[in-house]
Amino acid sequence: MVSAGDFRNGLTVEIEGNVYQVIEFQHVKPGKGAAFVRTKLKNIKSSGVIEKSFRPTEKFPQAHIERKEMQYLYSDGEFYNFMDTETFDQIALSQDQVGDSLKFVKENEMVKILSHNKEVFAIEPPISVELEVTETEPGFKGDTATGGNKPAIVETGAKINVPLFVEIGNIIQIDTRTGEYLKRV
């Protein structure tokens, strides 16, 4: 059990049957009345954010989130298949469970599967990936004065903005958290 007075950023707790991660917390001691803890909590399953205040003595069970590294094998159109590289167990997740988290992940790459009570709620791709540009318009000489961007499609089918000098066949590095171009490799 964790008391509200011990909340820290990143802590996961169970409140009213839901699992929340503490995004922000602030201990408030008003001039009059009892102290309280003002928090911003993110529901890890629905990704909704709520603001809530607690008495510092309120206690909540700590939620244990399991992070397991697995290899993304393939998608058969209906399910996305993953394999535990230690036990060789395979799991299949639906499009609803995966969402947009694999838009920058190629087959056979490692991802982290996040679960609570054996129920998968999220997939964490690597922080950055290297992908080949498959479609983009050609850049023109002298177009770099403004430092503009142009749309490009990478080998996984995801669309991102890249600098004008990037061409088809270039390998680029992408930040999977923001979907932004980092550098040409």
DSSP track, 94-119: EHHHHTTTTTT--TT-EEEEEEETTE
pLDDT at 144 over 70: no
DSSP track, 19-65: EEEEEEEEEE--SSS--EEEEEEEETTT--EEEEEE-TT-EEPBP--
Classified as helix, coil or strand, 128 is strand
pLDDT band, residue 15 (cuts 50/70/90): confident
Q: What are the C-alpha distances in Å from 169 to residues 69, 152, 155?
A: 30, 11, 10
Q: Contact 36/47 with Cβ under 8 angstroms?
A: no
Task: Give the strand pairing for 90-94 and 128-136.
Answer: unpaired
Q: What is the pLDDT of residues 16-38, one digit of tens each?
A: 888 888 889 999 888 888 899 99
Q: Contact 128/171 with Cβ under 8 angstroms?
A: no
Bridge partner residues of 74 (DSSP): 81
pLDDT at 50 over 60: yes
Q: What is the pLDDT of residues 149-184, one digit of tens each?
A: 888 999 888 899 988 888 888 899 998 888 888 888
Q: What are the C-alpha distances in Å from 73 to residues 34, 59, 66, 93, 127?
A: 54, 41, 20, 12, 19
The domains located in the chain, with CATH, are 2-60 (2.30.30.30), 66-124 (2.40.50.140), 128-184 (2.40.50.140)
What pLDDT score does 59 carry? 92
Helix or strand run (H / E) with residue 80: strand 79-83
